[in-house]
Structure 1
Amino acid sequence: MTDPPFDLAARLGALLFVSGEPVERAELINHLGCNETELDAALATLRERGPGLGLVLIEHSGAYQLATAPSLAELVEAFLGLDRPARLSAAALETLAIVAYRQPVTRAEIEAIRGVDSSAALQTLIARGLVEPVGRLPTVGQPIQYGTTVQFLQAFGLASLEELPDLPPEISEFLAEEGSQ
């Protein structure tokens, strides 16, 4: 008896399951022998099937990864014998929120919004893998720009940045004003 052929979504799931790291669209298309439209359909199917298996499909900067559903985090941590991570300080949370909603953003832009030195908070976020350098601003000094990581999405149970909750209008307006200065 032969195994039944697996559909594209199943093959996609297998690749993402074993990769352990985010995989770029082009690499998935190459290995699966499909086109963009077929990949999008397989990704949609995998998004639908994942929750029934305790998994979520995460998308970040055109790369995809399977992760444990956030609702199962405590179960998985207990099984693996992991301690709960230490909580972030208020300064680190403020900095993380600015990066998440304004990315890519420089340290100077973060400090202009917060009104205080943010280097320690930024270093904490980098050390925890929630924020990473994503480029340089093409101006004098070429300051580093920061953005969130796949680990940020996993930690907050988001499949993509589009799932970030909307900010209240007054905060959105403040961030827009600070960004134009």
Structure 2
Amino acid sequence: MNKTDNLISTIEAMLFASGDPVEASKLAEVLDIDIETVEKMLGHLSALYDERSSGLMIIRIDNKYQICTREKYSEEVRKLMEIKKNTPLSNAAFEVLAVIAYNKTVTRSFIEQVRGVDCSGPISSLVQKGLIEEKGRMDLPGRPLIYGTTDRFLRCFSLNSLEDLPDLPKNDEIDSIARDESQTSLFDNENKNDILKEKEISEIAHIEEE
């Protein structure tokens, strides 16, 4: 085995063992090579999977890489792992997810002002499902928690980053709520959850809504 093949196999083993997305810089650090070489080897590995019609593929999420199964084999994988199909996310969960995704990081109080109702249930459910997570606290009285989306959210919606979200529709009636946190709502009652639903794929469709 030549040096290039050995590097590709080593990176493949590292990604497989990790399970979670891994930064190219971390791979480079462990292998003691430059990031450009790592990215080149990842490209080779991805091409090899494509050439042999492998059930695996390499995906990139922000600057992280992960091995995952191809969507076309998802049904068989679910049967093997005895994963039952569950109901899709509720409209409330989609609305909360959309508010967080398009505003990057927000507090619970901001989400509740946008939606006009208590959001503790949908937020808790989305955290449990790994679609959103706590990103810290704001330097305000009470130090409210800040929520943002996760890498799993990006994988579920086939996004490399939040910058790849579809553009919001132009609507003169879209509500804008100015907050002390200098945040602004980007949604009206009809459009705020439809944007993400257009990006829904099989994995998110079968996440159990508790």
Same fold, judged at TM 0.5 (above): yes
8 Å contact 2:24–2:39 — kept in the other structure? Answer: no
Q: Which residue of 2 aligns with 1:100?
A: 101
Q: Which moved more, 1:8-17 or 1:141-150?
A: 8-17
Which structure would you say has the larger RCO, counting Cα contacts within 8 Å and 6 or more residues apart? 2
Note the alpha carbon deviations across 1:24-61, whole angstroms, 9 max, x for none.
3442121122223333434444555555433241325x
Q: Which residue of 2 aligns with 1:89?
A: 90
Q: Which residue of 1 aligns with 2:137?
A: 136
The structure with the greater share of residues assigned to helix is 1
Q: Which moved more, 1:51-60 or 1:100-109?
A: 51-60
- Relative to structure 1, the CA distance from residue 10 to residue 122 in structure 2 (aligned partners, 3 Å threshold; closer, same or farther) is same
TM-score w.r.t. length of structure 1: 0.79
8 Å contact 1:136–1:142 — kept in the other structure? Answer: yes
**What SS is found at the alignment partner of 1:97?**
helix
8 Å contact 2:114–2:177 — kept in the other structure? Answer: no
Q: Which moved more, 1:34-43 or 1:72-81?
A: 34-43
Segments of structure 1 that go 5 or more residues without pairing to the other structure are none
Alpha-carbon offset, residue 120 of structure 1 = 0.7
Segments of structure 2 that go 5 or more residues without pairing to the other structure are 186-210
The 2-side partners of 1:25 and 1:69 are apart by: 21
The 2-side partners of 1:109 and 1:33 are apart by: 45
**Aligned runs of 1:164-175 on 2, under 5 Å?**
164-170=165-171, 174=175
1:120 aligns to 2:110 (yes or no): no
The 2-side partners of 1:50 and 1:162 are apart by: 27
Q: Which residue of 1 aligns with 2:22?
A: 23
TM-score w.r.t. length of structure 2: 0.70
**What SS is found at the alignment partner of 2:140?**
coil
Note the alpha carbon deviations across 1:50-91, whole angstroms, 9 max, x for none.
55433241325x433222233432221123221123321110
**Aligned runs of 1:67-86 on 2, under 5 Å?**
67-86=68-87
Alpha-carbon offset, residue 125 of structure 1 = 0.5
Q: Which residue of 2 aligns with 1:57?
A: 59
Q: Percent identity?
A: 34
1:37 aligns to 2:36 (yes or no): yes
